[in-house]
Chains A and B, each alone.
Chain A
Amino acid sequence: MNKPLVKTHDYILKRNSQIKRNISGWAVMSPGIMLFAFFVWIPLLSALIMSFTKTVGFQIEGFVWLDNFKEIFADLDFQRAFQNTFSYLAWSLLIGFVIPIVIGLLLSETIHFKGLFRIGIYMPSAIAGLTIAILFSFLFDPSSTGFLNNVLKWLGFAPLSWLEDPDLVIPLIVVTMTWRGAGATALIYLSAFQQINTNYYEAARIDGANAWQRITNITLPSIIPTLSVLFVLQVISVMQVFFEPFVMTNGGGADRSSLSLLLLAYQYAFRDGRADLSSATTLILFLIILALSLIYFTLVGALKKRGYKV
């Protein structure tokens, strides 16, 4: 009878000391948890609930289950925004993914004024995104007083419609985003390039490899882990494009040529007072990003299994 009592006593003491230890841990964590709960989890949960309800303003009136989703799928604006968001993604991978790698490579090859170039390249990232969007709106002004149209005129070319051209608007917005973000990304690539063992390059040179062969056979394979992380971050970031089309095209353009899903969610909520449709749109966007991320991680996992260094 005594033995178990001693055991229980030890157990209680141990548990009490664990609790004591944990209390201090929880006390340290609690402000962070509360902030997270208040600013992230509660809004996330509210949005999830709202997407299945009918709202008046931001107040829930009752559950409508999938009606909001049916409504947005029937909305031509949603269909257009859906297409546009993937168009942003495609252009961003074409322009925005490649350019930082090229800049990073050029920087790594630079011998003189390296610090100056690094600062110069990073400078746009230090400017507020909104300022850049407004600045590029002036550059891309389609009127005769627009900066680029004046350059074209001076060079003897016909003016362009720039942001008013439905075929050009998304690539131009992606150019703006790239101009702002490429420098910071290029520095990450530069850091990755500098970690490559220089012996590989020396060996390649001895074997007679030219610059292109060195890049494709040594440089790029060596930075695949960095490439893959920045790739997934870029996908997530571009899928959430918002303020550039908002500022540069008067809220997505009258013809919706630059309307993105997040911008549409904003318009549903704050222009139309439809928090329910807005929440449903953001939930769909979340699911798309989740699906893309899952595809990425599945591919990476499969490649790792086959022995690739990813």
Chain B
Amino acid sequence: MNNKFALFCTLPLLISLASCGEKDERIRVAIGMWPETQQTQDVAMFNIWKMRFETDNPEYQIVAQPYQYDQTTVAANAMSGTLPTIFQTYFTEPTMLIKNRYIREVTDVVKELDYYDDMEPSMRSTLEDSEGLLYGVPRDGYGFGVLMNLKTLNYYGLIEGDYTKHEYELYDDQNNPLYPTTYQQLLELGAALTEVSGESVNGTIFYSANRQGGWLLSNLSWAFGAQLQVQQNGNWRGNLASEELVNTLLYLQELKASGALPQDKNVFTYNDWYNYIGSRVGFVFAGNDVIQNAVTQAQIDRRDLAFIPMPEGPEGQYSLYGGTPFVFARNASDAQVRGALKFLEYMGRSPKLTEVSKLAMVEGKETSKTKNEPILPSIRPWTNQLYNSYADELDEQYVNINMEYFKDFYNTIDDIKHQEEPYFAQEMYDLLDQAVLDSLRNPYRSGEEIMNQLVTLNSQFNRYFN
């Protein structure tokens, strides 16, 4: 009896000892950008990449951990150590993630793998802190532009062509653009669309909430000559109370008063654009990295889309530009980060052009093609010429939108790109949201009234610098 009892007591110990022998000693790398289970084609592709990687790097174990970044849960995930080793976030987030130490710096490992110098410098700077430490690598770049629904514009006679054949004329005989190239022309096109459609379709929408109003306004304001942050005696300060920003808001009010914007609703967020571009507006301000939503969410035929550069204002032409990053969990070890960065090569997302990365790049395009997704060129996050030439070759082969309607955006982005304001950008957008919303609600505000509001907002903003 006693022997049986002793055996019963020691059984769990024996089992646990036996299982110790089976423990996986490999370095575990959790991949947050792993697709969700229902995306079967993508999962199959990732499994191939995992198999190749683990064969070439037997010391590593790749673990699928699909993770959708969420601002409300990232703190809890970071503090409890449950973030994947590597995950993708929005371009607006690194500053907050770095400040709160939810992600780890990876400078040395990135340098060790020779990725650092191949990184597009302006994208790299958005992922660095004030001491020059790097906290991520860019997936790809984004730039603001104007996405046009050519079918709607053609239907109401504002763009030449034939929407039944998906053919449109965006250039004249001398190859000059027929689309709006200035903010004034954009306003006129929007107002005309509202008028000819009998107000059933508006020109566009202007974001005004969730800090996205300030975000878009900042892009417009650069074209009106505004400098939203300036250095005074070596210290950075907010400069929201400026004539240039007043002029930008006056333009916004003109946009509203002219009828180019919806008259009955003023609160819009960035997620609204794909609810409106289908049949309710002619064009929207958007980043090139989300254009596919026009097809997948708004159900627009990809042949009816054009993406043109941000228009020119009185003081220049600018497009807000940045990189969509991959970042790393704060509790990830150097070895895990090294593994995650190496895995990017097997996804075709590192600057290294090897047989395996070439294969992955082709597989990525093929999968998108099979899924009938719009395939667009991307803004390259790396400066490696070999890599970029190969990516260009693949673009030529796989891009399935009419590049005639997109080419000017990609040709001009390098000349007109402008990075986000350097300090407290999110807090600044939050304050500017109020100015945007007030201008939309009351499009007949005088410049003096706007300036009074901006003075108040600027003093609030400068509290952050103090």
Name A residues whose Cβ lies closer than 8 Å to a Cβ of B. 56-59, 74, 76, 141-144, 149, 159, 161, 164, 249-251, 253-256, 269-273, 275
Is B75 touching A164 in the complex (CB atoms < 8 A)?
A: no
Shortest C-beta distance, A153 to chain B (Å), equals 11
Contact of A254 among B262, B264, B433 (CB under 8 A): B433
25 A-B residue pairings within 8 Å (CB atoms): A56-B101, A57-B79, A57-B101, A58-B79, A74-B463, A149-B264, A164-B265, A249-B267, A250-B210, A250-B267, A250-B269, A251-B209, A253-B209, A254-B209, A254-B210, A254-B267, A254-B433, A254-B434, A254-B437, A255-B437, A255-B438, A273-B96, A273-B99, A273-B102, A275-B75
Q: Does B372 lie at the interface of the complex (its beta carbon under 8 Å from any beta carbon of A)?
A: no
CB closest residue in chain B, given A252: B209
Residues of A within 8 A of B75 (CB): 57-58, 269-270, 273, 275
Q: How far is the CA of A275 from the CA of B427 in the complex (A)?
A: 16
Question: Which residues of chain A are within 8 angstroms of B463 by Cβ–Cβ distance?
Answer: 74
Nearest A residue to B457 by beta-carbon distance?
A76
Q: Which of B220-276 contact A (CB under 8 A)?
A: 262, 264-267, 269
Determine the chain B residues whose CB is within 8 A of the CB of A249 once the complex forms.
267
CA A270 – CA B426 in complex, angstroms? 13
Beta-carbon contact of A273 and B209 below 8 Å:
no
CB of A280, distance to nearest CB on chain B (Å): 16
Q: Is the interface of A mostly helix, strand, loop or mixed?
A: loop
Q: How far is the CA of A164 from the CA of B440 in the complex (A)?
A: 11
Assembled-state Cα–Cα distance A256/B269 (Å) = 15
Residue of A at shortest CB range from B213?
A: A254
Given contacts A143-B262, A255-B437, A275-B75, 7 further A-B contacts (CB under 8 A): A57-B78, A76-B460, A142-B266, A254-B434, A269-B75, A273-B75, A273-B99
- Asked whether any CB of chain A lies closer than 8 Å to the CB of B436, the reply is yes
Contacts of B266 in A (CB 8 A): 142, 161, 164
Q: Which residues of A contact B72 (CB under 8 A)?
A: 270
A150 to B264, CA, bound (A): 12
The answer to whether the Cβ of B383 comes within 8 Å of any Cβ in the partner chain is no
Q: Judging by beta carbons under 8 Å apart, are B210 and A251 in contact?
A: yes
A149 partner residues in chain B, CB cutoff 8 A: 264
- Per-residue CB contact flags for chain B residues 201-225 toward chain A (1 = under 8 Å, else 0) read 0000000111001000000000000
CA of A263 to CA of B96, assembled, Å: 19
Q: Mark B93-119, 1 if CB is under 8 A from A, else 0.
A: 000100111100000000000000000
Chain B: minimal CB distance from A134 (Å): 14
A254 and B208 contact, CB distance less than 8 A: yes
Q: What is the distance, in angstroms, from A166's C-beta to the closest C-beta of chain B? A: 9
A253 to B268, CA, bound (A): 11
For the complex formed, measure the closest distance between the CB of B211 and the CB atoms of chain A, giving whole angstroms. 9
Across the two chains, which residue of chain B brings its CB closest to A267? B430
A7 to B401, CA, bound (A): 98
Task: List B contacts of A58 (CB < 8 A).
Answer: 75, 79
Which residues of chain B are near A56, meaning CB under 8 Å? 99-101
Complex formed: what's the CA distance from A253 to B102 in Å?
A: 28
B71 within 8 A of A: yes
Given contacts A251-B210, A254-B209, A269-B75, is CB(A57)–CB(B100) below 8 Å? Answer: yes
With CB as the reference atom, state the residue of chain A lying closest to B210: A250
A272 to B97, CA, bound (A): 10
Given A57-B102, A254-B208, A254-B209, do A164 and B267 touch, yes or no (CB 8 Å)?
Answer: yes
CB distance from B196 to the nearest CB of A (A): 18
Q: In the docked arrangement, what's the CA distance between A304 and B460, Å? A: 49
Residue of A at shortest CB range from B433?
A: A254
Q: With the chains together, A148 CA to B436 CA distance in Å?
A: 26
CB contact between B436 and one of A142, A254, A269, A275 (< 8 Å): that residue: A254
Residues from chain A with a CB closer than 8 A to the CB of B426 are 272
Which residues of B411-436 have CB atoms within 8 Å of chain A's CB atoms? Answer: 426-427, 433-434, 436
Q: Could you tell me the distance between the alpha carbons of A270 and B69 in the complex, rounded to whole angstroms?
A: 13
B264 touches A143 (CB 8 A): yes
- Our pick among B71, B209, B265, B436 for the contact of A271 (Cβ within 8 Å) is B71
Asked if A250 and B100 sit within 8 Å, CB to CB, the answer is: no
A201 CA to B210 CA in the complex, in Å?
57
Does B437 lie within 8 Å of A142, measured CB to CB?
A: no
* Bound Cα distance from A161 to B442, whole angstroms: 13
Expressed in whole angstroms, the Cα–Cα distance for A300 and B62 within the complex equals 65
Q: Is the CB of A253 within 8 A of B71?
A: no
A-facing mask of B344-362, CB < 8 A → 1, else 0? 0000000000000000000
Q: How far is the CB of B89 from chain A (nearest CB, A)?
A: 14
